[in-house]
Structures are given as C-alpha cells and as structure tokens.
C-alpha cells in the first residue's frame, strides 16, 4: 500500500481527501500544520506528498523548498489561488504538479496515480547512458556528472530519460506533457517548464542561457549531446 502525506489545514477537505484516497487503497497520514512536515517526511517513508500552499506555521512553499533536500518522490501542491506566478514558484521549488481548489476527487486520483508511475526497468545491456561526463543508470535511477552524484526526483529523472531518448531532436511541450503527465497540454500549465528549470540547475545548465537543455522558442526543448564534456 503506497503512503501519502497530506498537509492541509482545512479539516473538512482533508477528511474528504483522506477518506477518498483510503477507499482507493492508499495509506494517508494527515497533518493540519506545516511546522511538523519536515519531521514526518524524514521519518515516514512516504511515496507522495499532497501539500496545501496556505498553511499555519510554514507555508507550502517553505515546506517544498525544505523537503526537497531529503525527499525525491512526487509533490503535488494544492491551492485556491490561480496566480500563474505562484504555480511557477512552486514548480521551481520542486513541486511536480499543481491542483486548484475546489478539488475534483477523480482528477486528484488520476494525477496521483500518474505521478507514482515509475520509469520501467531496462535490460542490463542498455541500463547505462553516457554523454561526455554525464552518466545515467536507468536501472538504479542514478545520475553522475564527472563522478559527482546528481540528486534527481523521479519526475526529473523521467524528463531526463525522455530528453536523452531523443537527443538532438526538439521535443514540444505537448509531447512531453503527454509522455510525462499523461494528459493533453492545455496551453497554460507550467509543470513541464518547472521540471526543465529544476533539471537544468541540477545538471549545471543555465536557465538564462541554457546550452545543455536548450529552449527552442515556439517549438520546445532540445537535449544537446555534445554539451557534457
């Protein structure tokens, strides 16, 4: 049974979410205050965190920033605010998806299941990818640059694998959205942009002038094979 940590101060909503997810065979721990989130993440062995933005104590942004040093699983942020800058901030801090209130339970369930899917284990003969100093192990989900470990979340790892599978090709947001989020791109959602931004930072690329994972304006993203020397 997969474990979810729900951090939500709205008691009525939290009870509904907890009950609904437990009916669908998840084990749910509920916190109504952000101050204890770090402690629970460190000791709980959770598979996914469902995190409200507006909380007493630490808010969702602070929690997301803090837990990303110790938690590599998916994080979904929940908010009543529809400000796109808030969404982008959350994604850049390490959130994998954003859901707006009021929450549609079946949509929430679909998002959770999609995020909990993992990259399939590859055959041993094809488990290693090498691009200059960049080494990717598709079985252990480990990444190194010049023998230094790079700590990626599962969703960042999935993005990297998708980019490297078609290195040298421009991959559109629509394509990446369908492959990684597993639903159609609505033209507004910044989830893929946030993942690319975080992945660049961790791989020593620049979001202002990227040279390893390039933005091709109006078309998509390009993984540059010879930029890892």
> Looking at residue 156, which CATH number applies to its domain?
1.10.10.10
The pLDDT score that the predictor gives to residue 126 is: 58
In a domain, 228, yes or no: no
| DSSP, residue by residue, 79-138 | ES---HHHHHHHHHHT-SEEEESSP-HHHHHHHHHHHH--PPPPPGGG-EEEETTEEEET
111 shares a domain with 137 = no
27 shares a domain with 82 = yes
Number of structural domains (the chain) is: 2
The pLDDT score that the predictor gives to residue 148 is: 92
**Domain stop point among 72, 99, 116:** 116
Cα Rg for the chain, rounded, in angstroms? 18
The pLDDT score that the predictor gives to residue 21 is: 96
H helices present in the chain, as ranges: 11-23, 37-44, 60-67, 84-93, 105-116, 154-165, 173-176, 191-202
189 shares a domain with 144 = yes
Residue showing tokens 């990818």? 129
Total residues found in the chain within this entry: 229
Residue range 158-180: average pLDDT?
A: 90
Q: Name the pTM for this structure.
A: 0.59
Can you give the residue range of the structural domain that contains 200?
124-223
The sheet with strand 75-79 has its strands ordered as 26-31, 2-7, 48-52, 75-79, 97-100
Q: What is the mean pLDDT of the chain?
A: 87
**Domain stop point among 86, 116, 146:** 116
Q: Which of 6-15, 175-184, 190-199, 203-212 has the lowest mean pLDDT?
A: 175-184
Distance, CA of 108 to CA of 112 (rounded, Å):
6
93 shares a domain with 31 = yes
Residue range 171-177: average pLDDT?
A: 89
Q: Evaluate if residue 87 carries a pLDDT over 80.
A: no
Q: Evaluate if residue 15 carries a pLDDT over 70.
A: yes
Distance, CA of 20 to CA of 195 (rounded, Å):
28
Q: Evaluate if residue 61 carries a pLDDT over 80.
A: yes
Neighbouring-strand partners of residue 145: 134, 148
Angle between helices 154-165 and 191-202 (to 10 degrees): 90
Distance, CA of 34 to CA of 12 (rounded, Å):
17
202 shares a domain with 104 = no
**Domain stop point among 116, 132, 152:** 116
Residue 73 pLDDT level (bands cut at 50, 70, 90):
confident
Residue 124 pLDDT level (bands cut at 50, 70, 90):
very low
Residue 118 pLDDT level (bands cut at 50, 70, 90):
low
Q: Evaluate if residue 121 carries a pLDDT over 70.
A: no
CA distances in angstroms from 111 to 138, 174, 202, listed in the order given: 24, 17, 25
Residue range 182-200: average pLDDT?
A: 88
The pLDDT score that the predictor gives to residue 182 is: 78
Distance, CA of 87 to CA of 10 (rounded, Å):
20
Structure-model confidence comparison of residues 11 and 43, the more confident one: 11
Q: Evaluate if residue 205 carries a pLDDT over 90.
A: yes
Residue 119 pLDDT level (bands cut at 50, 70, 90):
very low
In this structure, what CATH number is given to the domain that contains residue 109? Answer: 3.40.50.2300
Distance of CA 86 to the CA centre of its chain: 16
Q: Which of 46-50, 71-75, 156-160 has the lowest mean pLDDT?
A: 71-75
């Amino acid at each position: 049974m997969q474990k979810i940590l729900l951090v939500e101060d709205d008691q009525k909503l939290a009870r509904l979410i907890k009950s609904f997810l437990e009916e669908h065979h998840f084990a749910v721990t509920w916190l109504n205050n952000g101050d204890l989130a770090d402690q629970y993440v460190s000791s709980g062995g959770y598979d996914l965190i469902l995190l409200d933005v507006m909380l007493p104590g630490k808010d969702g942004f602070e929690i997301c920033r803090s837990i990303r040093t110790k938690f590599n699983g998916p994080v979904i942020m929940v908010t009543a605010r529809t400000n796109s800058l808030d969404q982008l901030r959350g994604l850049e801090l390490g959130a994998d998806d954003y859901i707006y209130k009021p929450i549609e339970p079946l949509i929430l369930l679909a998002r959770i299941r999609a995020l909990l899917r993992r990259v399939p284990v590859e055959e041993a003969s094809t488990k290693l990818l090498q691009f200059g100093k960049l080494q990717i192990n598709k079985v252990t989900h480990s990444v190194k640059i010049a023998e230094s470990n790079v700590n990626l979340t599962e969703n960042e790892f999935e993005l990297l694998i998708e980019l490297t599978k078609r290195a040298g090709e421009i991959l559109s947001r629509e394509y990446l959205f369908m492959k990684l989020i597993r639903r159609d791109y609505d033209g507004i959602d910044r989830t893929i942009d946030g993942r690319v931004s975080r992945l660049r930072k961790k791989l020593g690329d620049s979001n202002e002038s990227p040279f390893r994972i390039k933005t091709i304006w109006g078309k998509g993203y390009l993984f540059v094979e010879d930029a890892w020397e």
